[in-house]
Structure 1
């Protein structure tokens, strides 16, 4: 759920307002008539996420605990799709949906509330949605998931998707269609998950030959490259892809862009993290935006780190993904604190001065983070 009519703004914009959708378009100044209809294409599994918050501990056997908060939202690949769409990227999602009430709500939320193109997605008759229950306790989380494989592979639907400037993909998913997409000029940004087998076989990285960027975390990057530090890992990965990025949580992020010759390190924005769910998706969406916008490498890392920091301060996957309203609010507050003599804020404001050329300087209808529950629209309106 989003708040669609909240004014935001500060700085001198380098983007524009999309009058049709009423949202801020950070790529408006770069768009040409013959551009692809989408900025980013995604494919994967959508889950219905139920997120319980405000518990100090997990319940014991036979025990019932009441949580202080409850949120629900589309999860899985929807976390990344929502993060990209809220940053103003024209986002398309290829996914399989069931025919149950959960799927009805998730389809409506993604297509109408978040403005995500689902034209290449499909509803399957007699198929129910995958579901995850997440319980957040003391900054950590535990999850229980139930679901089934789709009746047919998503690769069969990819060719029917609108053209896109970029695609964000998972090395652990289907890779057969990457070469076809790359051949059309789509830049592919790849990520990878934890290898539960413990083998960390470098052969798993072979599909990177089709990719523009690779954005693993430090544990994954060091394991696959057989290195012992994130900076050594990013150098090894830079031999495989034009843009290598390694994230290290509170330890910051490292990147090398072979196309420009840039190398950069960015410390993490210090915040109190409540829920890390979806932070990596937010980082990937922000890196994709910065690359498409031709920002410098250090600006891309700083922006992605900021967006991730804003996300982990909220509970609940896609619900926590920040929009331009949240970014503008943070930047305005940081500058006001700096002008008021706060030395730490002054240092941070100096590091993020490039936002003056990105954040809108006039009111726009920016999407923001919001709490959401699985409810009737009339209930949402009343409350």
Structure 2
């Protein structure tokens, strides 16, 4: 997309193996057993953003620690061979167990159990040693990074830093966690994180407070939609979520973030950026799995074709920009999350 940069997107962070259960017949309680209608296996963690970026045609490079075990083997094969992600800055580590997350989706939300000894330390030992138009980062990881200079150098070389932030399990919500926003172009927290850090009780008020720290703030609100503020342009957008049948919301926020980057790099207006990211995440939640639920261009083209035929006028008007944005066919189907640990044959061509 731009010959000046080696990659469109670069990412650094811990990798997880995600095992997601959805369609539970009851809420789990101590001493009981519940059954799920569906289960999906997928690379997770930083891979959520990497796969979502690659499936939207972004040249994607990922730096992550991989366990030297069967789970690490499978994740490496899926990401490199199936999804076409550059792993030249990732590392296989002897004695390092692949972190595992079990996600349970219920009532259009999810809870997670994670085993990840040493994951953050292992990721912080890596660097992004490549040039990219955009770098997707976690704010707390930046603050703790062993070489904090790499991301400031990337910003100085013209990369746009799109920052997210994970849930603060200590619930202290220290404002120092946000210090690195001074080098970032965009911040994409969810509404609970945004309100906690700004000490507000309204996501719009939280977004407006964060807009003082960074040029672009996008606060995701799950089923309640999105609020976005471009402080440089003085523009604010509030957009509802798409009405879809939710199967598994795991990883949907990461799909939203990657799609936002794709739309931003394409030069779309703020409202169109938010609409595109909302569409991509809306498709993702209708599938099981985390990274492998991300849509490709074929999925987006199919949705747009149906919407133009039977969708309401407001929806057709809102997404008219897709006529220009969707690449020419053919579009290959993406490979979904498998229900067992097995290698999935790679698909060739563009998505």
Pair 1:229-2:202 in alignment: yes
Pair 1:129-2:129 in alignment: no
- Residues in 2 aligned to 1:61 and 1:151: alpha-carbon distance in whole angstroms: 30
| Structure 2 residue aligned with 1:368 | 334
- Residue 147 of structure 1: CA displacement? 2.5
- Residues in 1 aligned to 2:345 and 2:183: alpha-carbon distance in whole angstroms: 47
- Residues in 1 aligned to 2:39 and 2:247: alpha-carbon distance in whole angstroms: 14
Native 8 Å contact 1:86 1:367 kept in 2: no
| Structure 2 residue aligned with 1:316 | 289
Pair 1:119-2:119 in alignment: no
- Residue 140 of structure 1: CA displacement? 4.1
Which has the larger displacement, 315-324 or 131-140?
Answer: 131-140
- Residues in 2 aligned to 1:59 and 1:262: alpha-carbon distance in whole angstroms: 44
- Residues in 1 aligned to 2:308 and 2:344: alpha-carbon distance in whole angstroms: 39
State the TM-score, normalized to the length of structure 2: 0.89
What does 1:195-274 align with in structure 2 at a 5 Å threshold? 195-274=168-247
State the TM-score, normalized to the length of structure 1: 0.82
Which has the larger displacement, 145-154 or 211-220?
Answer: 145-154
| Structure 1 residue aligned with 2:160 | 187
SS in 1 for 2:84: coil
| Higher RCO (CA-CA < 8 Å; seq separation 6+) | 1
State how many pairs are aligned.
342
Q: Which has the larger radius of gyration?
A: 1
| Structure 2 residue aligned with 1:281 | 254
- Residue 80 of structure 1: CA displacement? 1.2
| Structure 2 residue aligned with 1:329 | 302
Which has the larger displacement, 73-82 or 248-257?
Answer: 248-257
| Structure 2 residue aligned with 1:46 | 15
What does 1:138-177 align with in structure 2 at a 5 Å threshold? 138-150=107-119, 153-159=122-128, 161-175=129-143, 176=148, 177=150
Q: Which residues of structure 1 form unaligned runs of 5+? A: 1-30, 339-344
Native 8 Å contact 1:326 1:369 kept in 2: no
SS in 2 for 1:126: coil
Q: Which residues of structure 2 form unaligned runs of 5+? A: none
- Residues in 2 aligned to 1:73 and 1:278: alpha-carbon distance in whole angstroms: 10
SS in 2 for 1:143: strand
